[in-house]
Structure 1
């Protein structure tokens, strides 16, 4: 266990009958880190959260929290709290009463409870809502109360099970920023579960992409977005161009591939495949640049615009690469650039670092 790790998940597997929800998962979570488990339904992210919270027992493996093995401990014996998707607030209790519930279970005295209530309500700007009931609050306010109730007992680890799923798009964006700000100010360790890629990219220090019970890739939002290791990650997080060709080999650390007769250079975050094998590379739409003459970028092809879609502040361009036997690319550019690119052939360039060769 590394010195700054609060949580260690060690060789954890979970089976439900013949179904494997988690397959030998090993992972460290550092103190004060905002870690997001991202993936589609059934990938194992919620099972991991429930095992950390003590709501599920692993079939094998162990969970270490702050140096203590908590694998078989019930939820109330762990320094862990949880914010549920539906908030799970007690409708018959006021905001103050909801916040005090966990403090009473800890056996705190009334003066201590009152002090902690005041402290957490002031911190989350809930002072004016102490005597209101959940039904009298907006979605964002209920979310803050649920967070206040979870933070009040001062847990070592906070688990968040898609807590923004019930909010509309505009409010969700506001609460995302607020939640990240709260995490930074408290220096608490947050374990966040979501299937929303934008949410994960916006909020996380680190994202763990899950697929079929295993870690597909683990890294910062920037690493996963611009340097995906697998086709699954490249397609699951954002939009991308997938270029399928044949690996020629490596030159000076760069991976060299043939794409419809074009020589392209990239890098391989997931490891270099065997030479001569079919491979796929990912290039994000916003990484493509447009030039009147051949650019000095590592990769350059000629093409022409065959379609434009106006998206407000930016424009999507559909491109036909003329020398590559009908191959196509898609690009995002600002609206002004999109207007200026006509139907005449243009040079399309991108750097070696912008093209990630993927493992299957």
Structure 2
């Protein structure tokens, strides 16, 4: 099966604002129909990348290729790209019908073609009954759909979304996340989404690009980033985790053998730049990957300790366990509340598999 050509290529793009470097040699490709999320803290370069793709900023170096055309120097209206802004940027004095039609009129479409496209897009997004309303008469979720309809109506190759859900309350935000993902799937458009919300990124994305200080820290599926983070920054930024530092003793297949306070542990080795024997490394273990046992388990890795803290979280409980013979090292685990309530002050065993402990680079 042939792999489709990238619809977007970002080639060695850098961007400086005076002496401040916002992006450093960014190289990325996006495939047709992908839902890709840029995730990272404020100031990491994700919104700058979006603005460069949209034509609102010019890169200091590098190229932007869209549908095999170099658009680096082209303004926004000359690119087959549309953008949904954080505040949706709907015209308050225009009805839904007028807001959606506006961009089509700018493209020079005739009235008959505009009506046909308007009917198609409002039916697709279930907005038919709202076309004569003004933005102030719509809910937050409805305004979101109108902004999407306006952006999708000209049939762009790429849709850019700059934190478009940040103004919604938590309940509505969850609903719109699912709706947005469904729209992307049904339209088969390439969506490039920007957020600093890790849960939002994990929920919606086919692929996540984690950025920090203008550079890509890791590029992969939500599962890859969560369970096999490339480095400490990614491990800490996406979810909660435990960190274990140990000395490399060797390699067994795709696992590294570590010594940790006299105990032998095995962890999933990074895909590149294998550390050498004797090198100190850090590994990440997600809280839900640790299991509690009254007897020594048959897992590849085990530790014994005492519970020193419990936090009730509703359907689950966070347990803090101080590991024996490790100079006070503590591991944290998520367990079902019923299991957590039964764990007492006696010594207990923790178990986890080698594949559930990711040895980090850097």
Could you state the TM-score of these two structures normalised by the residue count of structure 2? 0.97
> Could you tell me which residue of structure 2 aligns to residue 89 of structure 1?
90
- RMSD, matched Cα: 1.1
Equivalent pair of 2:254/2:269 in contact (CA under 8 Å): no
1:278 Cα offset (Å): 2.1
CA distance in 1, matches of 2:80, 2:336: 48
1:284 Cα offset (Å): 0.1
> Could you tell me which residue of structure 2 aligns to residue 162 of structure 1?
163
Extract structure 1 runs of 4+ deviating beyond 4 A. Answer: none
> Could you tell me which residue of structure 1 aligns to residue 233 of structure 2?
232
1:272 Cα offset (Å): 2.0
SS of 1:182's partner is: helix
CA distance in 2, matches of 1:119, 1:275: 62
CA distance in 1, matches of 2:99, 2:277: 61
Equivalent pair of 2:11/2:28 in contact (CA under 8 Å): yes
> Could you tell me which residue of structure 2 aligns to residue 279 of structure 1?
281
Equivalent pair of 1:30/1:189 in contact (CA under 8 Å): yes
1:335 Cα offset (Å): 1.3
Unaligned runs of 5+ in 2: none
> Could you tell me which residue of structure 2 aligns to residue 102 of structure 1?
103
CA distance in 1, matches of 2:75, 2:13: 17
SS of 1:144's partner is: helix
Unaligned runs of 5+ in 1: none
1:128-155 Cα offsets, whole Å, 9 max, x none, are 1111111111111111110110001110
CA distance in 2, matches of 1:56, 1:325: 52
Asked if 1:130 is matched to 2:131, the reply is yes
CA distance in 1, matches of 2:269, 2:173: 35
Asked if 1:326 is matched to 2:328, the reply is yes
1:275 Cα offset (Å): 2.5
> Could you tell me which residue of structure 2 aligns to residue 49 of structure 1?
50
CA distance in 2, matches of 1:137, 1:157: 26
1:291 Cα offset (Å): 1.3
Equivalent pair of 2:4/2:32 in contact (CA under 8 Å): no
CA distance in 2, matches of 1:188, 1:252: 40
1:259 Cα offset (Å): 1.7
1:18 Cα offset (Å): 0.9
> Could you tell me which residue of structure 2 aligns to residue 306 of structure 1?
308
> Could you tell me which residue of structure 1 aligns to residue 343 of structure 2?
341
CA distance in 1, matches of 2:4, 2:136: 44
Equivalent pair of 1:260/1:327 in contact (CA under 8 Å): no
- Counterpart mapping for 1:241-252 below 5 A: 241-252=242-253
1:253-278 Cα offsets, whole Å, 9 max, x none, are 31111222221110123532232222
Equivalent pair of 1:297/1:351 in contact (CA under 8 Å): yes
Asked if 1:36 is matched to 2:40, the reply is no
CA distance in 2, matches of 1:246, 1:109: 70
Equivalent pair of 1:242/1:280 in contact (CA under 8 Å): yes
Equivalent pair of 1:291/1:347 in contact (CA under 8 Å): yes
SS of 1:323's partner is: coil
State the aligned residue count.
359
SS of 2:7's partner is: strand
CA distance in 1, matches of 2:344, 2:102: 64
Equivalent pair of 1:262/1:324 in contact (CA under 8 Å): no
Could you state the TM-score of these two structures normalised by the residue count of structure 1? 0.98
Larger mean CA deviation between 162-171 and 256-265 belongs to: 256-265
